Structure 1
Amino acid sequence: MKQNKYDDPKFFSAYEQMPRSVKGLEAAGEWHVLQALMPCLKNKRVLDLGCGFGWHCRYAREEQASSVVGVDLSEKMLQKARGKTDDSLISYMKMPIEDIDFPDASFDVVISSLALHYIKSFAAICQKVHACLAPGGRFLFSVEHPIFTCLSTQDWFYDEKGNRLHWPVDDYQAEGVRETTFLTENVIKYHRTISTYINDLIEAGFTIKAVKEPLPSDEMLKANPEMEDEARRPMFLIISAEKRELFRQFS
């Protein structure tokens, strides 16, 4: 059974109160970078893996996507998404990301926001996304940065007064399970290196278009001065990749 912390009442209650859950995309520190990397969505068929409350699905339709499918394992997340959505061209499906099995070339754009670090095999997802994308289609996703995920503690080192000294990096090359605390205890994430993310994409048949390690926007830093420490280590990794055209795949 795939991990489904979001249907745990205690976890979901805490998640509902996060700024990005209440205010949406504009409260997400990485959104301004992810948005800038979005391809033109007009008349595109879009798939959102780990759609959560459906913020990115609704954004895609605002950008005139022809259809949007949101996939999530959590019934509580999907209930929220459906409650916030009044659009017959957006459909939501309850299933693990690992189990997607869409016909070849079903989508023009596949997006995923902060979900794929919960997936054991990124290589397998790359293969599935590659298959369901049309040639020239775009795969755009964000994950927790490997510098952030390498240690299970996922926290700063502090001095005796509680000041943040530095962000510890250790066991970076030891890919695999990390049992950590995010909102509640016993949350399973999967650590992998930046090179694994990139090489798995290349081996699946993608061309890397952009790699970003975003900082919060100037507006967000001004409104939340406590976020200045985000400049001391990357928290997010965003990658944009394109499915190679057929004639280039065999060249």
Structure 2
Amino acid sequence: MTNSYDTLAEAYSAVNETSLNNAYYERPAMLELAGDVTGRHILDAGCGSGPLFETLRDRGATVSGFDASAGMIDMARRRLGDEADLRVHDLTDPLPYPDAAFDDVVSSLVLHYLRDWDAPLAELRRVLKPGGRLIVSVDHPMANHLIHRMSGRRPDYFAPSKRDEEWDMGGHTAQLSFWERPLGAMTEAFTAAGFRISVIREPLPVPAAREAYPDDFHLLNTFPVFLFFVLHAA
């Protein structure tokens, strides 16, 4: 995955800025769940090229971020400046931050790349202050299941499985792998890591999406693509 995003970094960043799924759906939902972040210290876990980091910072938060892809961190530095606290780091490794360092952690479309959630969630819990929030978005498990069925396969919804995709952006092709798990497995992983689930949300795209993407708006407005959680460190 890291090498794939290094290859796609510039093209993916450009698409992410204005795409229906990212700019009009996922990112607004994450920001709504975050609410007023003035004065809060936030970790952007899997920050990519930094669009969420930038908006949180503009809204008064102190933000740190990391991503496993050096190419994506290079793009983030172009956006955020050399003074931004950015690191190349893999979420599957222990985090380079002290205990209880952050009021919130945001993790935008990251966890579904990981086969094992136990160690990463334990680390995210460790760096949160007691009562701090972990705000997460992931691929919606039922959306993936229905896509598989439409393609003629009959997968077991309850069995975690790997999905491989080939992405072509800006003349570059990369292979990406995703790990699918049912909702129950997600909630069990969160609670086992010491989180209390406060919110599970299936949001709608923002109204401006209708004008920007008139041909695609209806589908996203009637069926969720991503699933969102707000978790509190117990």
- What are the ranges of 5 or more consecutive residues in structure 2 without an aligned counterpart? none
Task: Kindly indicate whether residue 23 of structure 2 is the aligned counterpart of residue 31 of structure 1.
Answer: no
Task: Kindly indicate whether residue 209 of structure 2 is the aligned counterpart of residue 210 of structure 1.
Answer: no
Query: 1:195-228: CA deviations, max 9, x gaps?
Result: 1111111111111111112221222023312221
Task: Kindly indicate whether residue 111 of structure 2 is the aligned counterpart of residue 112 of structure 1.
Answer: no
- What are the ranges of 5 or more consecutive residues in structure 1 without an aligned counterpart? 159-166, 245-251
Write the distance in 1 (CA, Å) between the matches of 2:154 and 2:106.
28
Write the distance in 1 (CA, Å) between the matches of 2:46 and 2:109.
8
Aligned length, in residue pairs: 228
Task: Kindly indicate whether residue 155 of structure 2 is the aligned counterpart of residue 170 of structure 1.
Answer: yes
**Secondary structure of the equivalent of 2:159?**
coil
Output the amino acid matched with 2:125. H
1:76 to 71, 76, 94: 71
Give the share of equivalent positions with the same residue, in percent: 29
Write the distance in 2 (CA, Å) between the matches of 1:203 and 1:6.
30
Write the distance in 2 (CA, Å) between the matches of 1:199 and 1:226.
37
Write the distance in 1 (CA, Å) between the matches of 2:212 and 2:126.
42
Name the residue aligned to 2:12. Answer: 15
Work out whether residues 46 and 68 of structure 1, in 8 Å CA contact, stay in contact via their aligned partners in 2: yes
Name the residue aligned to 2:233. Answer: 243
**Secondary structure of the equivalent of 1:214?**
coil
Work out whether residues 149 and 178 of structure 1, in 8 Å CA contact, stay in contact via their aligned partners in 2: no
**Secondary structure of the equivalent of 1:99?**
coil
1:185-200 matched pairs, under 5 angstroms: 186-200=175-189
Write the distance in 2 (CA, Å) between the matches of 1:156 and 1:170.
7
Task: Kindly indicate whether residue 220 of structure 2 is the aligned counterpart of residue 230 of structure 1.
Answer: yes
When normalised by structure 1's length, the TM-score is 0.80
Work out whether residues 30 and 215 of structure 1, in 8 Å CA contact, stay in contact via their aligned partners in 2: no
Work out whether residues 25 and 55 of structure 1, in 8 Å CA contact, stay in contact via their aligned partners in 2: no
Alpha-carbon spacing, 1:232–1:155, altered in 2? closer, same or farther (3 Å): farther
The structure with the largest alpha-carbon Rg is 1
Cα offset, 1:185, TM superposition:
5.6
